[in-house]
Structure 1
């Protein structure tokens, strides 16, 4: 595809700076998502699997595991690093409120760390990612540190 523009590419390291903000589209978490995730992950907690015997449970409603919310959030931000993300290194994660089947989530991201690595052609970017539902309620915050590709592999002097 020489001399053509490839759609769907992610940010390069140089495209980001501390304070930069971007957001994702929304995604509704469905009953099918919950059932498939519980079966895939073996999170067979009654909180997620028992529809009828709920009176002894602390949270009423069709609750979604935080791990599923995180996985969906990462899926929503993946286009921002398509072809330019090199590695996921670590993250801290805090769940602020429950998420339920039928909630539509989106992710609001802010760059909070940005630095070159010792190897040419790559840098480290940490974002603060806020997962928010359709009512504007904060559900989760996590801070992934990712290694990102630079446009030009130059000798990094830091």
Structure 2
């Protein structure tokens, strides 16, 4: 990873990033279940899942979210920090063996209400797709970003 200084003024609405795909594995699902304690049969019981509408196990939504956010983490920017995530939607199921593709597009910028001369928010729409499921997850990642102070 590289360190880059990217200030509020450097972000442009409409700019987009895309990332190399990542295939979700059995190991990913098992580790996530162990880390979170979510051993729900939709994720862990192949025989039971075969009797359900999707016909097989599905990945945890929070696992897909974690992988997607991790895929967008590239350069270290000391001028910005994650402020949180809004409008998280799990649109379609993700199955073991699906390859996740992620794009991230800057959709908005706004001043910080209490410190508009020093800080701003950058909104980035993160979209996750698979070949079989189309769009499987969307969310807005909010960044709190320093402004250049003259």
Q: CA deviation at 1:90?
A: 3.6
**Structure 1 residue 38 corresponds to structure 2 residue 33:** yes
Q: CA deviation at 1:119?
A: 5.4
For the residue of structure 1 that corresponds to 2:52, the secondary structure is coil
Query: Of 127, 137, 155, which residue of structure 1 is paired with 2:124?
Result: 127
Q: CA deviation at 1:10?
A: 7.0
Q: Is the 8 A contact 2:126 2:139 kept in 1?
A: yes
Q: TM-score, normalised by structure 1?
A: 0.80
Residue deviations 1:33-64, cap 9 Å, x none? 00000111111111111122334322112310
> Which residue of 2 is the match for residue 145 of structure 1?
142
Q: TM-score, normalised by structure 2?
A: 0.84
CA distance in 1, matches of 2:131, 2:5: 26
The alignment of Structure 1 onto Structure 2 pairs a total of residues equal to: 148
Higher mean alpha-carbon deviation, 104-113 vs 129-138, is at 129-138
State the 4+ residue runs in structure 1 displaced beyond 4 angstroms.
none
Q: For 1:58-73, what aligned pairs fall within 5 Å after superposition? A: 58-73=53-68
Q: Is the 8 A contact 2:2 2:75 kept in 1?
A: no
Report the aligned-residue RMSD: 2.4
